[in-house]
Amino acid sequence: MADTVVGANPDPHAPGEDPSRRDFIHIAAGAAAVGAVGALAWPFIDQMNPSGDTLALASVEFDLSKVPAGQQVVLKWRGKPLFVRNRTPAEIAAAIKDDNAPMPDPQPDEARHKPGKAEWLVLIGTCTHLGCVPTFQGGDYGGWFCPCHGSHYDTSGRIRKGPAPRNLEVPTWDFLTDTTVKIG
Amino acid sequence: MLRKVSALAALGLALIAGPALSAPHPKEPKAVSWGFEGPFGKFDQAQLQRGYKVYREVCSACHAMNLMSFRNLGQKGGPFYDPKYPNPNDNPYVKALAKDIQVNDIDSETGDVIQRPATSADRFPSPFANEAAARASNGGALPPDLSVIAKARSGGPRYIYSLLTGYAAPPAGLTVPAGSYYNQYFPGDLTASWSGDHDHVPPGGFLAMAPPIQPDQVSFDDGTKSTVAQQAKDVTAFLAWAAEPKMQERKQFGFAAMIYLLIFTVLLWFSYRRIWRNVAH
Amino acid sequence: MSGHSTYEPKTGFERWLDMRLPILRMAHDTALAFPTPKNLNYWWTFGGILAVMLVVQLVTGIVLAMHYVPHVDHAFASVERIMRDVNYGWLIRYMHANGASMFFVAVYIHILRNLYYGSYKAPREILWILGCVIYLLMMATAFMGYVLPWGQMSFHGAVVITNLLGALPIVGEAITTWLWGGFAVDNPTLNRFFSLHYLLPFMIAGVVALHIWALHVPGNNNPTGVNVKSAEDTVPFHPYYTVKDGFAIAVFFLMFASFVFYNPNILGHADNYIPANPLVTPAHIVPEWYFLPFYAILRAVPDKLGGVLLMFGAIGVLFVLPWLDTSKVRSMRYRPTARLYFLIFVVACLVLGFCGAKLPDDPVIPGVSTFQLFDADLNSFVWLSRIATAYYFAYFVVILPILGLTETPLPVPDSISAPVLSHPATTPAGAVASPEKRG
């Protein structure tokens, strides 16, 4: 093999020096390149996360005085329906009575409302089966009834009969004042 | 060879930068500077707050800012940002400022159009229902939306400041049409209204906006003297922020990016020299 | 040179894959082992820079398309939403807008490199023509992309350019109406421009693949213009040119970043931050800087159709350049007379760009009024454009054909390696060629 000064396949490392092709400088440059690509990848991934205006609607405030006793109001929250229900004492009693009844997703009624304010139920109005919106006061338990596949929810929003696996979801919410709540 | 071409390119670029000097043109914007200019520029939060007050109390009577929401005021870099409230919707100042302003809404029970206090998620309301109403109230002229005005005028903030402070008594020989005002910095060709020497037409133009700022018109809560120049400077800073709320973030990211790229370039240079060491080329 | 492959699959997986889809072989042959002339200078790094910028534009563009709304009532606001609300939207938008300008800076340098070193000459004519096709697709893409933010310049620029087609005889008006999808530039136009703006870059990518294929048949040109005679004249593309291109790309990105982060709107026009208004024309309609030379050529001709034809002719003449240049010598390094004319050509292009930004009747030297020549004073930008346009065409159609026949070129070296000894390797000759250590 005749290697000359202007070598055809010039040896990147001359004899007498480190034979390692993995010179530190190449590793450093390569690492910097990978680092640059990684650092730049994050903005491109993060841009698909919810943007500022979507997050602005992440929480909603609501005035409870709009809901008469025994009625519910449906709000739109984060693109989904939200039930705000003002329960009558009879409905509350019926819910508490069934606390230990057999049901697919057992949960006591007091875990589903704010302490001392049992009349106010705030639930996400999406059936936990396949996502339809249950109708108010329908079904065998006076709570809600989902017409799509026949799920019955009681006055606490718990699934009692039908294919839905879990109770109607309680979102993060709290009282701001006695009459206003913030959801989300 | 390389030097010649780059010198030519530099010359070419320098020439392109020159303005057209022949037609009558407005006065060059005043040389005033703000802290947010330059590669390390930052918005002065106090200035932005004063500027918002000027917008709200003076400009918003005629000028909409349709792209701005109240929550933007509480964003990082914005006038009412508070690190305790990373989500600007929760910021109490923002909520209070929003509540002061009435916005249109539909009554969910009757379907009527009603007015209600704004929330942080609402946009800044428009002073007029539509363009026709805006024109009717302003002698046929449409007050431009100010959301991106600082980027939409050549000269940017300097132009806006100069315009706000650049109203002058019209020189003798200039006929100012009714309902218009002479401003030395507003673009226009006054040749037709000028009875003097046509080679010395006064700079500027006529606009339908009366001088909008009076001395002491907006009282500043931090005690800053409310001169016309101060109000103009502050509202211009606010408009510059409104046009580019991410400017600070951009420059900070840029600093990190440039440092990284410089290091990367140097590393690649040495890597290149190492690899090519043995090759005559 | 497209010779035989030197790829040796090392692992079992590589052998398995190589028998079914020799993609690693192709990558090895085209990007790793490809014998590349060892004397390429930095003007040769712009091909790699262009490839990277195409990827940058594609990635930023696809991401922007997740948020942009191509409807006249929402386009402007959706762009501002990207700038304000989308996480890092401001970064992606500014990268895309400034990336387009950087793309054109690189493509102009790349084209000038080809003109100077004769890279369009045989056997690279198809390579050159594919490059011209890429350039045309880039211009179409950039034009449609600029319309999308639906600012004043977007709208009125679209109006001016689409109206040019009306100059075509007989079919002009029908074509314009067809392109608009209506009686003026409006929502149908915006919507289809968005669709095509998304499509064309992928066609560019396809033509780029053909471009690289066509390059790899004869191999790269080099600053001497002399063909590669032996393997001694070349080095493998990796690591020699991967690292050199990498360095050049890093420097280019420093420039790109300085625009994106510190002066993102300087290459644009303030009027494009005013929402489009069909009833109000901006005082001064100007295209983006990379179209200014063609705009100047368009306005140089007093006749509308003539201007359109000459403007397209300015690009058309590039397609036939390989057959216009009669010189037997490729590289202008050895053509001192041609070099001078080339320099004037570059100046003419810069002058055309400068004129494109000016009002045609404005005086070049302010305050000076000479005499009326036909439709304008001689001291006007339209006449300067005419002179520069005349030179632009004369360079291709008159100068290059004649020069090749009349000039006396400098002696061309026999091979690439011959003149290379002016820049010897940094390790002394003896150390490398010690025979005992070589097999």
**For residue range A132-167, what is the model confidence (pLDDT) as tens digits?**
999 999 889 989 999 999 999 999 999 999 999 999
Per-residue pLDDT of chain C (439 residues; tens, 9 = 90+): 556 888 999 999 999 999 999 999 999 999 999 999 999 999 999 999 999 999 999 999 999 999 999 999 999 999 999 999 999 999 999 999 999 999 999 999 999 999 999 999 999 999 999 999 999 999 999 999 999 999 999 999 999 999 998 889 999 999 999 999 999 999 999 999 999 999 999 999 999 999 999 999 999 999 999 999 998 899 999 999 999 999 999 999 999 999 999 999 999 999 999 999 999 999 889 999 999 999 999 999 999 999 999 999 999 999 999 999 999 999 999 999 999 999 999 999 999 999 999 999 889 998 888 888 888 889 999 999 999 999 999 999 999 999 999 999 999 999 888 765 555 565 544 444 444 444 3
Is the CB of A11 less than 8 angstroms away from the CB of B278?
A: yes
Burial of A168 (0-12, 13-18, 19+ CB in 10 A): buried
- Residue B4: predicted pLDDT: 54
Q: Residue C227 to residues A138, C124, C234, C252: CA-CA distances in angstroms?
A: 86, 12, 11, 29
Chain A residue with minimum CA distance to B280: A6
Give the Cβ contact number of residue A111 at 10 Å: 10
Which among A12, A25, A28 has the least Cβ separation from residue B278?
A: A12
Is the CB of C66 less than 8 angstroms away from the CB of A47?
A: yes
Question: Chain C, 253-272: which have a CB under 8 Å from a chain B CB?
Answer: 253-254, 257-258, 260-262, 264-265, 270-271
- Tell whether B264 lies on the interface with C, counting CB pairs under 8 A: yes
Estimate the crossing angle of helix B45-57 against helix B228-243, to 10 degrees: 100
Q: Residue B281: which pLDDT band, with cuts at 50, 70 and 90?
A: confident
DSSP letter for each residue of B220-253: -TT-----HHHHHHHHHHHHHHHH-TTHHHHHHH
Q: Which chains touch C (3 or more CB pairs under 8 A)?
A: A, B
Q: Which residues of B are less than 8 Å from A28 in CB distance? A: 267, 271
Cα distance between residue C268 and residue C96, in whole Å:
12
Enumerate chain A positions whose Cβ falls within 8 A of a Cβ in B: 5-7, 10-12, 14, 23, 25-26, 28-29, 32-33, 35-36, 39, 52-53, 55-59, 61
| B249–chain C nearest CA distance, Å | 10
* 3-class secondary-structure state, position B37: coil
| A1–chain B nearest CA distance, Å | 17
pLDDT of B82 above 80 = yes
Which among C347, C367, C432 has the least Cβ separation from residue B8?
A: C347
Q: Residue A178: which pLDDT band, with cuts at 50, 70 and 90?
A: confident
Is the CB of A9 less than 8 angstroms away from the CB of C236?
A: yes
Sheet with A151-154, side-by-side order of all strands = A135-136, A142-146, A151-154, A159-161
- Tell whether A15 lies on the interface with C, counting CB pairs under 8 A: yes
pTM of this structure: 0.89
Q: Residue B26 to residues A98, B163, B204, B208, B212: CA-CA distances in angstroms?
A: 81, 10, 4, 16, 19
Pair C106, C245: CB distance under 8 Å: no
Positive or negative, the CA dihedral C134, C135, C140, C146 is positive
Is residue A129 part of the annotated active site? The answer reads: no
Cα distance between residue C193 and residue C356, in whole Å:
24
Estimate the crossing angle of helix B247-275 against helix C237-262, to 10 degrees: 160
Enumerate chain C positions whose Cβ falls within 8 A of a Cβ in A: 59, 63, 66-67, 81, 84-89, 91-92, 230-232, 234-236, 239, 243, 246, 417, 420-421, 424-425, 427, 429, 431-434, 437-439
- Residue B16: predicted pLDDT: 45
**Which of B244, A64, A38, B62 shows the shortest CA–CA distance to C94?**
B244
> B209-220 pLDDT, tens per residue?
999 999 999 999
**Which of B21, B76, B87 shows the shortest CA–CA distance to B48?**
B76
**Which of C252, C301, C246, C235 shows the shortest CA–CA distance to C106?**
C252
Is the CB of B271 less than 8 angstroms away from the CB of C283?
A: no
- Higher pLDDT: C42 or B22? It is C42
Is the CB of B279 less than 8 angstroms away from the CB of A52?
A: no
- Residue B128: predicted pLDDT: 95
Cα distance between residue B125 and residue C152, in whole Å:
24
Q: Residue with structure tokens 């009575």?
A: A97
Q: Residue with structure tokens 């938008």?
A: C93
User: Mean pLDDT over residues A48-64, rounded?
Assistant: 86
SS3 annotation, chain A = CCCCCCCCCCCCCCCCCCCCCCCHHHHHHHHHHHHHHHHHHHHHHHCCCCCHHHHHCCCEEEEHHHCCCCCEEEEEECCEEEEEEECCHHHHHHHHHCCCCCCCCCCCHHHHCCCCCCCEEEEECCCCCCCCCCEECCCCCEEEEECCCCEEEECCCCEEECCCCCCCCCCCEEECCCCEEEEC
Q: Residue A21: which pLDDT band, with cuts at 50, 70 and 90?
A: low
Is the CB of A52 less than 8 angstroms away from the CB of C246?
A: no
CA angle B156, C74, C100 (to 5 degrees): 60
Question: Residue B143 is encoded by which pair of tokens?
Answer: 């007050």
- Residue A14: predicted pLDDT: 45
Helix (H) or strand (E) run with residue B133 in it: helix B131-137
Chain B residue with minimum CA distance to C357: B16
| A65–chain B nearest CA distance, Å | 14
Question: Residue C163 is encoded by which pair of tokens?
Answer: 């109206």
- Substitution target in A1, A5, A42, A54 with the highest count of C β-carbons within 10 Å is A5
pLDDT of A11 above 50 = no
CA angle A134, A140, A144 (to 5 degrees): 20
Is the CB of B274 less than 8 angstroms away from the CB of A25?
A: yes
**Which of B75, B106, B126, B96 shows the shortest CA–CA distance to B249?**
B75
- Residue A176: predicted pLDDT: 85
Q: Which residues of A are less than 8 Å from C417 in CB distance? A: 6
**Which of C27, C52, C198, C51 shows the shortest CA–CA distance to C131?**
C51
**Which of C52, C34, C1, C95 shows the shortest CA–CA distance to C205?**
C52
Is the CB of B261 less than 8 angstroms away from the CB of C253?
A: yes
Pair C326, C405: CB distance under 8 Å: yes
Enumerate chain B positions whose Cβ falls within 8 A of a Cβ in A: 69, 71, 75, 87-90, 119-121, 260-261, 263-264, 267-268, 270-271, 274-275, 277-280
- Residue C437: predicted pLDDT: 41
State the count of interchain CB pairs (< 8 A) between A and B.
Answer: 58
Q: How many helices (H) and strands (E) does chain B have?
A: 8, 4
SS3 annotation, chain C = CCCCCCCCCCCHHHHHHHHHCCHHHHHHHHHHCCEEECCCCHHHHHHHHHHHHHHHHHHHHHHHCCCCCCCCCCHHHHHHHHHHCCCCHHHHHHHHHHHHHHHHHHHHHHHHHHHHHCCCCCCCHHHHHHHHHHHHHHHHHHHHHHHCCCEHHHHHHHHHHHHHHHHCCCCHHHHHHHHHCCCCCCHHHHHHHHHHHHHHHHHHHHHHHHHHHHHHCCCCCCCCCCCCCCHHHEEEHHHHHHHHHHHHHHHHHHHHHHHHHHCCCCCCCHHHHCECCCCCCCCCCCCCHHHHHHHHHHHHCCCHHHHHHHHHHHHHHHHCHHHHCCCCCCCHHHCHHHHHHHHHHHHHHHHHHHHHCCCCCCCCCCCCCCCEECCEECCCHHHHHHHHHHHHHHHHHHHHHHHHHHCCCCCCCCCCHHHHCCCCCCCCHHHHCCHHHCC
| C258–chain B nearest CA distance, Å | 8
Q: Which residues of B are less than 8 Å from C239 in CB distance? A: 275
User: Mean pLDDT over residues A80-108, rounded?
Assistant: 92
| A117–chain B nearest CA distance, Å | 24
Q: Which chains touch A (3 or more CB pairs under 8 A)?
A: B, C
Question: Residue C180 is encoded by which pair of tokens?
Answer: 């608009």
